[in-house]
Structures are given as C-alpha cells and as structure tokens.
Amino acid sequence: MPRILRSSAPTAGLVTLLALALPAVAGAYATGGTTAPTSAQIDALARAAGTLPPAFAVAGKYDFGTGENGFGGGRGHQGQDLLAACGTPVVAAKAGKVTVAKWHVAAGNFAVVEAQNGTNHVYMHLRSPARVAAGDRVDPGERIGVVGQTGRASTCHLHFELWTAPGWYEGGEPVDPEPLLRRLAAM
Ligand SMILES: [Zn+2]
C-alpha cells in the first residue's frame, strides 16, 4: 500500500500541472483564433515531419531536351538535359543527404543527393559551386545552385541523373530520369 501511495503522488502532481496548463494552452488557441498558421509555419512543420512534397528540379522556365539531350542519346548520355536560362534556380527534387558537391572537368559544378529510398539525384553544370556541401540534408525545393554551363556543356542547362541504390558510382546504375521528371513536372 505505501508503495502505491508513493507512486500515485507524482501522478497526482502531474495531473495538477496539466490541469493548470491546459486552460492556458486552450486560451492561447482561442485568442490566436484570428491568426491562422502561415504557410511558412506549415512548411516548417512539414519539414520537421519530412513530408514536404517533391519539387521539380528547375524552379523556372525550362524545356525537356530531346535526341542526344535525352537519356541514352549521343554516346551513352546518362541523364536528361533540362534546357533553361543560365541563372534559373536548381532545387532539390526530393529530400535527401548531399553525398558529393564539387567540380569535375565534364560535369562542371555538380552535386549528388541521396534520397531516403537510396536512389541518387545528380545535378550538373551549375553556374557556380553548389550552395550545399557533402553531408548537408536538403528538403525538396531547397536551392542547390543555379543553371549554368560549366564543364562540358554547349549551352545553359541542368543535366539531371537518376541512379539506383546504392548510388552514383557506388554500385548503382543510371536509369532514365524522364518519367520521374515528368511526374514532378505534373505536380
Ligand atoms: Zn546532359
């Protein structure tokens, strides 16, 4: 019996605390009734929950490249080119972790993002070094850089690659990203 009494004492204290706190919380909601959460607040909650919707990789006007600008075009083109003006924002298509962000003679400034399902998204020819670094977590729609033509590129465009797990030059293989990009474009 004394054991029960001892353990019930803190519980009673907690109930008292809740009873004191709840009306205050309810009151805050009631008085805040005229200020609905802003979209920024909702975005912050979605970010925290990891539920932001995917985004199209080019945040601006673009065209799907065809022929040798498509996957498998030319001599084994490993991605899909999205033709857009230099300076157009490039954003993360999905949430993930940046595994590579550097410069390469052919890719120019580029970044690789590993999505939660293990697939990799690669963003190449960025005008300037990526705004993200290896190890960073990115949200869908988060800026990675801007469209450029660094590396081997004859015009301004984003070269986008999709790799199966375990990823870009880590045992995965490049697959045609066009169906994914078309899906994202339609959202
Ligand atoms: Zn390309």
- The structural domains of the chain, with segments of one domain joined by +, span 2-36, 63-186
User: How far is the centre of ligand 1, averaged over its atoms, from the C-alpha of 41 (Å)?
Assistant: 37
Percent of the chain with pLDDT over 70: 82
Give the whole-angstrom CA distance, residue 7 versus residue 13.
Answer: 11
Question: Is the Cβ–Cβ distance between 160 and 62 less than 8 Å?
Answer: no
User: How far is the centre of ligand 1, averaged over its atoms, from the C-alpha of 174 (Å)?
Assistant: 12
Handedness of CA 16, 20, 26, 29 (dihedral sign): negative
User: How far is the centre of ligand 1, averaged over its atoms, from the C-alpha of 79 (Å)?
Assistant: 6
pLDDT at 59 over 80: yes
Give the whole-angstrom CA distance, residue 124 versus residue 159.
Answer: 5
User: How far is the centre of ligand 1, averaged over its atoms, from the C-alpha of 61 (Å)?
Assistant: 17
User: How far is the centre of ligand 1, averaged over its atoms, from the C-alpha of 80 (Å)?
Assistant: 6
pLDDT at 46: 83
- In this structure, CATH architecture of domain 63-186: Distorted Sandwich (2.70)
pLDDT at 104 over 60: yes
User: How far is the centre of ligand 1, averaged over its atoms, from the C-alpha of 88 (Å)?
Assistant: 16
Alpha helices in 58-100 (DSSP H): 73-76
Numbers of helices and strands, H then E, in the chain = 4, 10
pLDDT at 10 over 50: no
Mean pLDDT of 40-54: 84
User: How far is the centre of ligand 1, averaged over its atoms, from the C-alpha of 81 (Å)?
Assistant: 5
pLDDT-derived band at 62, boundaries 50, 70, 90: very high
User: How far is the centre of ligand 1, averaged over its atoms, from the C-alpha of 74 (Å)?
Assistant: 10
Closest CA to 89 of 142, 150, 153, 159: 142
pLDDT at 52 over 90: no
Least confident of 31-35, 95-99, 151-155, 162-166: 31-35
Q: Which residues surround ligand 1, an ion (CB under 5 A)?
A: 81, 159
pLDDT at 31: 54
pLDDT at 98 over 50: yes
pLDDT at 32: 53
User: How far is the centre of ligand 1, averaged over its atoms, from the C-alpha of 114 (Å)?
Assistant: 19
pLDDT at 19: 43
Mean pLDDT of 123-136: 98
pLDDT at 185: 96
Burial of 11 (0-12, 13-18, 19+ CB in 10 A): exposed
User: How far is the centre of ligand 1, averaged over its atoms, from the C-alpha of 147 (Å)?
Assistant: 12
pLDDT-derived band at 33, boundaries 50, 70, 90: low
User: How far is the centre of ligand 1, averaged over its atoms, from the C-alpha of 50 (Å)?
Assistant: 30
